[in-house]
Amino acid sequence: MSILVNKDTRLLVQGITGREGSFHTTQMMEYGTNVVGGVTPGKGGQWFEAAGQRVPVFDTVKMAKEATDANTSLIFVPARFAVDAIYEAADAGIELIVCLTEHIPVLDMIDARAYLDTKGINLIGPNCPGLLTPGEAKVGIIPGSIAIPGNVGVVSKSGTLTYEVIDALTKMGIGQTTCIGIGGDPIAGLSFIEILALFEDDPDTDQIVMIGEIGGNAEEQAAAYIAQYVTKPVTSFIAGRTAPPGKRMGHAGAIIEGKAGTAESKMAALTAAGVTVAENPDEIARIVAERMN
């Protein structure tokens, strides 16, 4: 099985005719993702062609949803339009929204997240690489070539480290159920806890890999949740251990203030919860492999 996306996912791409949208939509279609349409205001009636297929382009998400019965939307639009794109997808009845856009203002995301919560709509991101269920669906920019189907769930704040860990697992013959980059912005969609709960309930996920980073307290909250509710083995790594206090590193949420959000505090909380914390990303695949023997 998998979580959130699979072969039954019917994907709509908002911003499909833009440079990034068209490039990555082509990659997703070549991977086998069921892309059913795209949205670019003013370009409704056109067609997007890739991988020997063509899908219709619509002016609005509402029109696209009615014509294609899409259940997932991927947002490839600039930051100044991204929040409106999220609202539009939500109002059209899309069940899962994946927003890759970065530099969305925090105050705008506070309102958007609250709105999605009232509707019970799941959001991945923003400022994330999306998610991938190997062999079934690629929704975002995670390279499909580095993943293989298996029984390890991967959830990460970091895009690049996500790829590195997936690749290392694959090279050891360890496949993945679903790989998810949740992003590291201060206000985002599904959290570590919500993804952990989905992996815990997935019968085909036997182990979980969680990649965190400095800043905020999401990892400490996840540790408390793991200690109480997660029965499957969890392996973790915290990025940014050498970052100086007060300096922002990478994601907008990756900033240390005083003693809060440090790598040490996160690692201590996870260790206390029974999580195996790797000293470096290269150790993760080895730890996971040892548990399989």
Both tokens assigned to 257: 């203030």
Separation between Cα atoms, residue 83 and residue 257, nearest integer Å: 28
103 tagged catalytic: no
User: Contact at 8 Å (CB) between 284 and 278?
Assistant: yes
User: Contact at 8 Å (CB) between 161 and 275?
Assistant: no
Separation between Cα atoms, residue 161 and residue 239, nearest integer Å: 9
- Quick count: other Cβ atoms within 10 Å of Cβ 119? 11
Residue owning tokens 């993804």: 195
Across the beta sheet with 234-239, the strand order is 137-140, 130-133, 176-181, 149-156, 207-213, 234-239, 276-277
Helix orientation angle between 79-91 and 61-68, rounded to the nearest 10 degrees: 40
Separation between Cα atoms, residue 115 and residue 203, nearest integer Å: 31
Catalytic option among 24, 65, 251, 266: 251
Rg (CA), the chain: 19
Any idea how long the chain is?
A: 293
Specify the pairing of strand 176-181 against strand 130-133: antiparallel
Specify the pairing of strand 122-124 against strand 137-140: unpaired
Both tokens assigned to 238: 């915290």
Separation between Cα atoms, residue 122 and residue 116, nearest integer Å: 7
Both tokens assigned to 88: 């539009």
Which residues does the annotation mark as catalytic?
251
